[in-house]
Amino acid sequence: MNNKRVFLLLCPSGERLWAPAMVQQQVLYRALVSSKWLAESLRARKVGPSLRVLDVSWYPPLQRNAQQEYRERHIPGASFFNIEECRDQKSPYEMMLPSEEAFASYVGRLGVSNNTHVVVYDGDDLGSFYGPRAWWMFRVFGHRTVSVLNGGFRNWLQEGHPVTAEPTNPEPAVFKATLDKSLLKTYEQMLENLESKRFQMVDSRSQGRYLGTEAEPDSKDLEPGHIPGSLNMPFTEFLTAEGFEKSPEEIQAMFKAKKVDLSKPLIATCRKGVTACHIALAAYLCGKPDVAVYDGSWSEWFRRAPPELRVSQWKGGKA
């Protein structure tokens, strides 16, 4: 008897696709849309209250200016989602989630309601960097109809689709945010997990930063290393050289090679909760929608955990 489990992907068009999965059969909203699909939606004038496009680009200070690049060119109809505004600005850590009220108010001003299909993209040269974080933010606040533009702005341009410098002024909408705590982990919960070992942990940073042989970029007081028991799967490995997400079959093989069991609970972590969302997206594409992200990640763990709970080969700048 064939007992392989399957899941149902619900595409934005309403089309249903079957694919292998590691969880019980369920309906999942399509996490990726193609440039072709979005371009056709633009031509059909579907962008509006039911479909919003957000440029969610973010770059390290002094490297690139995401907001200026948006002003110069963006996908027609897209609004700029500013992570510097849509975060907990009082937190001592780098990219912590805002409150439900703050998130609802912010995305509402971008024309997003609870009935809106949101497509997010970013302009990173990799094809995707911040997009999965924005995708996860919508999901953690209870919004399931959100997709990442597969290949990002990089491939939108390469495929010759239109761009504009014309500002977008969407009509404000009402959005109600409801925090899904199952998709979020705190420092205290991570501490408890070291004892219970209920959740597997995967760190999405580069191997050098994970091991502690490579410095954390743009930070003088944050040493590299990882949480005890966490495995390393650099987020870039989930992307093709062209900047697209790898296939579910390839991703499943990657998890299997690292001995990550997608039928069991999983936490994703990184430095500040951004690239960890690539782990959540990759698992989702394999039919696992319940990966939790440690929002504070290494940025918080390094500053709060006792030294014996920090694994690192760091030698004070001499790896």
Q: Which residues are catalytic?
A: 270
Residues 6+ apart with CB under 8 A from 298: 203, 205, 216, 222, 224, 225, 226, 227, 269, 270, 271, 272
Residue 277, φ and ψ in degrees, nearest 5: -70, -20
DSSP 182-211: GGEE-HHHHHHHHHH--SEEEE-S-HHHHH
CA distance 166 to 300: 39
Cβ neighbours of 221 (radius 10 Å) = 7
Query: Nearest-CA neighbor of 117 among 49, 56, 181?
Result: 49
Burial class (CB in 10 A: 0-12, 13-18, 19+), 45: exposed
Cβ neighbours of 156 (radius 10 Å) = 21
CA end-to-end span of the chain: 53
Cβ neighbours of 306 (radius 10 Å) = 6
Token pair belonging to 21: 């999965």
In which region does residue 151 sit, left (phi positive, over 0), alpha (psi from -120 to 50) or beta (all else)? Answer: left
Angle in degrees, CA 261, 290, 225, rounded to 5? 65
H/E segment holding residue 43: helix 35-43
Query: Nearest-CA neighbor of 146 among 251, 74, 66, 54?
Result: 54
